[in-house]
Structure 1
């Protein structure tokens, strides 16, 4: 499997895990808790597979940066957490940093 596809799966699984964590109500609800564990297990598995093909620095930057950005977007859309210029600027900085790291790969 292509490393960037594995990275995309890892990011999607992390965002899923984050969303399930929000639904778990502080780990009070068991089914979302299982979703959290499954999401993170899948994310870590695919990150480990990605690291067999790509260097750790850019991989970790992509995984965390894209995970943060997507989680913020999901929070704004699904959980109505709001989205404003400051959040957009912060996400642009994160994505810009990831791009710069990738250019040095």
Structure 2
């Protein structure tokens, strides 16, 4: 089971990398950032497909999506100096709660 969660971790990592490279690509006008975005998403979906061999789709997708949202918000705050409002913080907190409840639901 550990290997499937390791694959999910890599899917999340490459999704986060791809999202941030997309911001740097300036609307896909900067070649290397654009190619990095595409490569990162290709690896993301590759690892996501691998983890689905041992993790239920609803668990994997909720974890992948939720972790991506939370980590993207953190990166946008730390690196891009974008503000996070109280309502956005509440929404992110609810996403984390949803992912935790989904994972604790015994769907493994």
Unmatched segments (≥5 aa) in structure 1: none
Q: Structure 2: where are the runs of 5+ without partners?
A: none
- CA-based RMSD: 1.1
CA distance in 2, matches of 1:28, 1:70: 25
Q: Which residue pairs with 1:83 in the alignment?
A: 84
- Structure 1 residue 3: deviation in Å? 1.1
Moved more, 12-21 or 76-85: 76-85
Q: Offset of 1:103 from its aligned partner?
A: 1.4
Determine helix, strand or coil for the equivalent of 1:2.
Answer: helix
| Residue 89 of structure 1, CA deviation | 1.5
Aligned pairs (5 A) from 1:1-105: 2-104=3-105, 105=107
When structure 1 is superposed on structure 2, of 15-24 and 75-84 the one drifting more is: 75-84
TM-score by length of 2: 0.92
Secondary structure class of the residue paired with 1:26: coil
Q: Aligned to 2:84, what secondary structure does the other structure show?
A: coil
